[in-house]
Every structure is written in C-alpha cells, then in structure tokens.
Structure 1
Amino acid sequence: MAVPDSKQALLAELARSYAALEKELATVPPELFGEKTLEGHAKGEVMSAHDLVAYLIGWNELVLKWHARRAAGEEPDFPDTGFGWNELGRLAARFYRDYEMLAVPELLARLFEAKARILRLVERQDAAALYGAPWYRRYTMGRMIQLNTSSPYINARGRLRKWKKARGLA
C-alpha cells in the first residue's frame, strides 16, 4: 500500500492495518501467546506473541508521549529518554518488560485503547499539521505516526503469519 499522504489516507491505513492485525491475533492459541519462539526485534533474540503486542503498545504510547510533550511546549526525546535510534533492540526489551505482567485480554485491550487514542490524535489535526511541514527532522507528523503505528502493525501481522505457518497453525 502507498504511504499515506493525507489525513483520510492515514486514518484509513491505521484502521486497515489494525483490523488485519487484530484478526491475526485472534487466531493465536491462548496457550501459545507466551511462548518465546517468534523471531525477536533484535538480531538473534526470540520473543513471544505477548512481547510482540507489548512492543506495539510501547510504540503507540511513545507516539502519544511525543505529542503530549509537544503540546506542553517541550521537545520530546526521540525515540525515548535514555534511548537513541541505534538502541531499538534495548527499547524493545524495555517494552516487553513494561507489559509482561498483563494478562492477554488486558494486553489486547491496552493496544486497542492506544490505537484509539492515536486515531483521536490524528482526527484532531488538520492537513497542514499532519503533512504540511517537517515535524521531526525531515518527517511530517503524519509520516512519524504512520512509521510508528501502522507500519509496525503490518510487520507484526507478517511475523505472526510466518510463525503460525511454521507451527502448522495457518
């Protein structure tokens, strides 16, 4: 799919990619959700479907944090305080730890709520705010949202499909 370049396209992409992910997650057997057999976010690492959802929540909530800080007149730390863009594996591990105690229903509800808050954030923006000027380095606000929400949803769905196929679950 083409990279969204308008508010309507971004909202549609968020809805489409999340719905596809949600459908995929619904077919993961509950007893396998915590099994660490999925290819991890860092080279040579493994994770569980639970970790994968935690990762998505982490990025969604980071996007919301960036916007909250900007709204408060502060410059956010990118990608997050204490992490550089070259430390995303370490950041992923933190996301796994941050949500490891949540039961699967709570975890999925938290992802749904974070996605809903992202949609509300996008809905509050106009075209100029989303795509009219760089928001972070050369990236527009809309592109930063897409890169850190719908793109990871698509990637996560692909990981789950590959994992399920390898296990004979597809």
Structure 2
Amino acid sequence: MPVPQTKAELLQAIDVQFARLMRELERIPGELYREASLDGHAKGTRMSVGDLVAYLIGWGELVIKWIDRDQRGEPVDFPETGYKWNELGRLAQKFYGDFCTLPPAELIARLRRSKETLEALITARDDQALYGRAWYGKWTLGRMIQFNTSSPYANAHGRLRKWKKAKGLA
C-alpha cells in the first residue's frame, strides 16, 4: 500500500491495515496471549501477543496525547516524556508493562478505541492540516499518524502471521 498523501488515503490505510490485524488477532486463543514467544521490539528480547497489542495501544495513545497537547498550545515531548528517539526499545517495554494486566478482550477493545479516536482526530482536519505543512521536524501530522498507526498495524500483522505459522496455528 502506498504512503498516504491525503486524509482519505490515510483513513483508508488505517482501516485496511487495522482490519487485517484484527482478523489475525481474533484467531489467537486467549491462553496464548501472554506466552512470550514473539521476537520483541528491542533486539534480543521476547514478547507476547498481548505485548504486541500493548505496543500498538501505547503508540496510538501517545499520538493522541501529542495532538491533544499541540491543540492546547502545550509543548510536546517527542517521543514521550523521559524517553528519547534512540530509546524506543525501553519505551516498548513501558507499554508492555502498562497493559500487562488486561485480558485479551480488553486489550482489543482499548486498541479499537485508540484507532477510533485517531480516526475522529483525522476526520476533524483537512488535507492542509494533515499534509500541508511540517508538524514535527520535516514530518507532517498525517505522516506522523501513519508512522504510528497503519505502518505498525501492518508490521504487527506480518509478525503474527509468521508466529502463527511457526506455532502451527496458520
């Protein structure tokens, strides 16, 4: 799928990749959600399906926070307060911990809510606001949203397919 360049393309990319991801997640038995058998986001680490979903929730909610703070004219700590861009593995570990007690159904519901909130934030903006100017460094708001929604949804889908095949679940 090409990189979105408009609001409509961004919304479509999010919907398509999210639907693909959900089809994979819905077919995973709940008892396997906490088994740390997937390659982790930091080199040499392992994570569970629940951790993968937590990672997606964490980034989705972080983007919502960025947009909210920006709208209120408050400074935004990119990527997150207390983290630098070269510490994303540590941030991933934080996300895993933030959601480690949620059962699979609640993880999925929270992921769905973050996606829906982001879609509402996108819908409230026009192409100019999303793609007409740099929002963070050289990146537009639309591109920052895409980096943290449709792209990781596609990556997670691929990770799950590979994992399911290795586990004989495909």
Tell me which interval the TM-score lies in, with the shorter structure as reference length: over 0.9
* Paired letter, 1:108: I
Deviations 1:137-166 (A, max 9, x none): 000000000001110100000000000001
Alpha-carbon distance between aligned partners in 2 of 1:2 and 1:107, rounded to the nearest angstrom: 29
| Cross-structure match for 1:24 | 24
- By how many angstroms is 1:32 displaced? 0.8
Q: Where do 4+ consecutive residues of structure 1 move more than 4 Å?
A: none
Amino acid at match of 1:13: A
TM-score, normalised with respect to structure 1: 0.99
What's the C-alpha RMSD, in Å, of the aligned pairs? 0.5
Deviations 1:85-129 (A, max 9, x none): 000000000000000111111111000000000000000001100
Following the alignment from structure 1 to structure 2, what is the Cα–Cα distance between the partners of residues 85 and 133? 22
Q: How does 1:5-44 map to 2 (within 5 A)?
A: 5-44=5-44
In structure 2, the partner of 1:135 is 135
Unaligned regions of 5+ residues in structure 2, if any? none
The reply to whether residue 55 of structure 1 matches residue 58 of structure 2 is no
Q: Distance in 2 between matches of 1:118 and 1:125?
A: 11
Is there any run of 5+ residues in structure 1 with no aligned partner, and where? none
Map 1:84-123 to 2 at 5 A: 84-123=84-123
Quote the Cα distance in structure 1 between the aligned partners of 2:154 and 2:28: 16
Task: Quote the sequence identity (%).
Answer: 56
SS of the residue 1:135 aligns to:
strand
Residues matched between the structures, number: 170
| Residue matched to 1:161 | 161
**Aligned-residue offset at 1:71:** 0.8
Output the CA distance in 1 between the equivalents of 2:33 and 2:106. 13
Three-state SS of the structure 1 residue aligned to 2:158 is helix
Tell me the TM-score normalised to structure 2 length: 0.99
Equivalent residue number for residue 149 of structure 1: 149
C-alpha deviation, 1:3, in angstroms: 0.1
Give the structure 1 partner of residue 72 of structure 2. 72
- Helix, strand or coil at the partner of 1:110: helix
CA distance in 1, matches of 2:28, 2:89: 24
Distance in 2 between residues matched to 1:24 and 1:43, nearest whole Å? 24
Q: Give the deviation of 1:75 after TM superposition.
A: 1.9
Cα deviation for residue 30 of structure 1 reads: 1.4
Secondary structure of the 1:74 match is coil
